A and B are shown apart, each in its own frame.
Chain A
Amino acid sequence: MNTLSLAWRNLLRNRRRSMTTLLAMVIGVVAILLFGGYSGNINLGLQTGFVRDSGHLQIQRQDYFLYGTGNPAAYGIRDYQRVIEVIKADPVLAPMLTVVTPTLSLGGIAGNFSAGVSRTVVGNGIVVDEQNQLRLWNDYQFPDEARPSPLSNTAQNAASIGVGVARVLQLCAALQVNDCPQAKAPLSTTNAAADAASAPDDISALSELEAAPKSSSPAEAGARIELLAANTHGAPNVAALQVVKAEMLGVKELDDMSITLHLKQAQQLIYGNDAPQVTAIVLQLKHTEQMAAAQARLSQLLQTEFKSLSLEVHDYATLNPSYGQITGMFAAIFSFITLLIGAIVLFTVGNTMSMAVVERTVEIGTLRAIGLRRGGIRRLFVCEGVLLGLVGAGLGVLMALLFAYIINHSGLSWMPPGNTDPVALTVRVWGEPNMILGTAIGLLLVAAISAWWPARRAAQLNIVDALRHV
């Protein structure tokens, strides 16, 4: 007849009250775990998206991250091939790496000069095969398949653009862009036409020159555009590109600006016959947990081997500030929910234990008379609270796992921010032992704390008064 079994029997004594208290705890645990599983899944989803898109780490020229968009070409990494080779051969880094791939950002103007329209764009030159490999990263076992880049198996002059760019460039028909009503004629049609007719003359000529060797048959899928950019010397250069796809990128700003082309093509445009450079070297690791180690090793390399290149490393969270913002927001909501539920459990258990103390006043007096110390009384009631917490946590975790399973197999889907396709609605509870353990321990602590006060009151009771209690 130890304290534990006595406590347990006392809980069973008032089953209904214990059940109600348990129910409050179970609901609380389920709410915390399901929301935690949901937001945890979103965080991992975001992370996966960013890691597939731009790797875990990027090596850039110093200050490129802050000032580079103004003039990417001025922040090129010289000798980038050697940097990549050294990294790939590095005994510390190599085992962690999945992909190392260079990219080149550029700013320019994309024009469909035959239609007399153009707009500024942000271009990105990529090594398509390596980008496709980046997209295979799935360390958190998301069910969705990575879609390969639209530039896969395309010619050197191929490009893909955001749907917003396609609309502005009046390429909807050619690129089969939906949601693209016939553009109303701008008010200043004549002026625009005049501009189109006059200004780009030389550019058209340039592009004609550029495109001359290639036979642009009208039967070829997609549409032809010209991309005008300043080369490293500040002189204008133009590339004739075959747009193979208009892509929905999920974020309007990107849709309206983005153009992706082969790295070689981009380098040709910016560096011409000079030694080609890139603006970033993307590193993807097998596991996100390796980031600190990889970053440390890279910093070491950058300060020794590549000191003269003045490079720096950024992680995906720095490169994508929205990651921190969204995870931060979820963390805030999660904390709020947890606090709220913690408070509810605190008062529920406290109330239950207070009632138990009042009901059992005579028993308390009897136990004390028989020779149980104050500490023994306190232990008994705290033990009851902790037991309640234990059962509540256990049942809650089981229920949360059950609900998570049901949700995950219900076929529900949702559209996360910045996505173009609906994503299966998943909550990650199973496989998050830290969250489960944290919640369970938290609940136990709250239950113990809320039982502590009534238990203390019980222990302080005057024996004679307690025995006289009716």
Chain B
Amino acid sequence: MSALHISQLYKHYQLDAVRVPALIDINLDIQPQRFTVLSGPSGSGKTTLLNLIGCIDKPDSGEIIIAGQQVGKLGDNALADFRSRHIGFIFQNFNLLPVLTAFENIEYPLILTKMPAAKRKARVAQLLDAVGLSDKARNLPGQLSGGQRQRVAIARALATEPQWVLADEPTANLDSQTGAAIIQLMRRMQRELKVSFVFSSHDPQVLAAADDAVFIRDGQLQPMPAKTALGSVDSNNNQQQVAA
């Protein structure tokens, strides 16, 4: 499984006449099969970077190679197919389809990859079990708590066995206890399934659980802060490399 390469990435937003630089010359490799956190103050560009990594947005310039694919070269449909196979998303607001049950929400990405029905059903059941929601399979999202919804969302993100799972502030809408449980779940799933997690967070719990951390401020990568600030982050695992 290959690393995520980002080089010379620029992105700006145009607000009326004002040009807002959101990412400036990002050069970054993120190691696979790890729990990597993007952190930084509000408005620093975490979401923007995750969107670019997730191939749902296009950079102004620069290159991203993810899952061995130079995604800048893909067309719209190819990108959609690429996302459905290689990238899972976990959203701050869970973003489950309200008309689908927990089971169906998890099943949906598998339908997109055209997995045969029998295999699909088995896979969903297994995922539901893994996130501890086997008894809620038939519940609609409206009938689930926030934490349960995020579990469904995690299962959905993992359904197609993607190489990368991206989560933008997955615990921001949860109380700290539920948030901690969700982080634990993600951590466990990441280890068990050997996927690569990248997510943004302000949450110290999340930072504490991370293998690697990337700091960003005003759209630019920051040198590593003191280890002490990172708590349990293992310095050996600190893979942040600012490419030349």
Cα separation A12 to B112 with both chains bound (whole Å): 23
Chain B residues positioned under 8 Å from A373 (CB to CB): 76-77, 80-81
B68: min CB distance to chain A, Å: 18
Chain A residues positioned under 8 Å from B113 (CB to CB): 371
Task: Answer whether A368 and B56 are a contact pair too, CB < 8 Å, given A1-B104, A374-B77, A464-B51.
Answer: yes
Q: In the complex, which residue of chain B has the Cβ closest to the Cβ of A463?
A: B56
Query: Could you tell me if B83 and A371 are in contact, using CB atoms closer than 8 angstroms?
Result: yes
Query: Could you tell me if A362 and B111 are in contact, using CB atoms closer than 8 angstroms?
Result: no
Task: Answer whether A362 and B95 are a contact pair too, CB < 8 Å, given A369-B56, A371-B80, A463-B56.
Answer: yes
Q: Interface size of B by Cβ–Cβ distance < 8 Å?
A: 28
Query: Could you tell me if A368 and B91 are in contact, using CB atoms closer than 8 angstroms?
Result: no
Chain B residues positioned under 8 Å from A2 (CB to CB): 111
Cα separation A343 to B42 with both chains bound (whole Å): 49
B243 at interface by CB-CB < 8 Å: no
Task: Answer whether A370 and B76 are a contact pair too, CB < 8 Å, given A464-B57, A467-B91.
Answer: no
Task: Answer whether A464 and B99 are a contact pair too, CB < 8 Å, given A370-B108, A372-B80.
Answer: no
Task: Answer whether A10 and B89 are a contact pair too, CB < 8 Å, given A464-B56, A464-B57.
Answer: no
A409 at interface by CB-CB < 8 Å: no
Chain B residues positioned under 8 Å from A12 (CB to CB): 99
Partner of A371, one of B84, B100, B107: B84
Q: In the complex, which residue of chain A has the Cβ closest to the Cβ of B92?
A: A467
Q: In the complex, which residue of chain B has the Cβ closest to the Cβ of A367?
A: B97
Partner of B76, one of A365, A369, A374: A374
Chain B residues positioned under 8 Å from A1 (CB to CB): 100, 104, 107-108, 111
Cα separation A6 to B107 with both chains bound (whole Å): 13
Chain A residues positioned under 8 Å from B57 (CB to CB): 463-464
Cα separation A12 to B54 with both chains bound (whole Å): 32
Cα separation A13 to B98 with both chains bound (whole Å): 9
Query: Could you tell me if A371 and B109 are in contact, using CB atoms closer than 8 angstroms?
Result: yes
Contacting residues of chain A (71-121) with chain B, CB-CB under 8 angstroms: none
Query: Could you tell me if A363 and B97 are in contact, using CB atoms closer than 8 angstroms?
Result: yes
Partner of B100, one of A6, A375, A376, A463: A6
Chain A residues positioned under 8 Å from B89 (CB to CB): 366, 369-370
Contacting residues of chain A (342-384) with chain B, CB-CB under 8 angstroms: 362-363, 365-376
Contacting residues of chain B (37-95) with chain A, CB-CB under 8 angstroms: 51, 54, 56-57, 76-77, 80-85, 89, 91, 93, 95
A424: min CB distance to chain B, Å: 49
Q: Which residues of B contact A (CB under 8 A)?
A: 51, 54, 56-57, 76-77, 80-85, 89, 91, 93, 95, 97-100, 104, 107-109, 111-113, 156
Q: Which residues of A contact B (CB under 8 A)?
A: 1-2, 6, 9-10, 12-13, 362-363, 365-376, 463-464, 467
Could you name 20 residue pairs across A and B whose Cβ atoms are closer than 8 Å? A1-B100, A1-B107, A2-B111, A13-B99, A365-B56, A366-B95, A369-B56, A370-B112, A371-B81, A371-B84, A371-B85, A372-B80, A372-B112, A373-B76, A373-B77, A375-B77, A463-B57, A464-B51, A467-B56, A467-B91
